[in-house]
Amino acid sequence: MNSESYYSMVDVEGPDLDRFAEFAEVTVRSAVLQPGDAVFIPVDWWHHLRALQVSVSITFVNFRLDDTFGNRGFELD
């Protein structure tokens, strides 16, 4: 996680390795989900998603749990 936000400035599909040299060292994992599949991405794991066709995605970044991962600790009302 960077200190500014939950979003990265790196274009994952065309990274500028002069500006983001450490990106060349990342481990890439790839998966194609089928209808009914789901994926769980742990807190603080950077990820990039691309829909191959029209789809619906649901994301949760706010939790009622204590912030033990360095996040800002946002809570739902």
pLDDT score, position 5 = 60
pLDDT score, position 1 = 45
**Total number of domains in the chain:** 1
The domain of 44 spans 1-70
Alpha-carbon distance of 75 to 67, in angstroms, equals: 10
Reported as a single tens digit per residue, the pLDDT across 52-75 is 888 887 776 666 666 555 555 444
pLDDT band at 22; cut points 50, 70, 90 = very high
Whether 17 and 23 have beta carbons less than 8 Å apart is answered as yes
Residue 75 domain-assigned (yes or no):
no
Residue 48 domain-assigned (yes or no):
yes
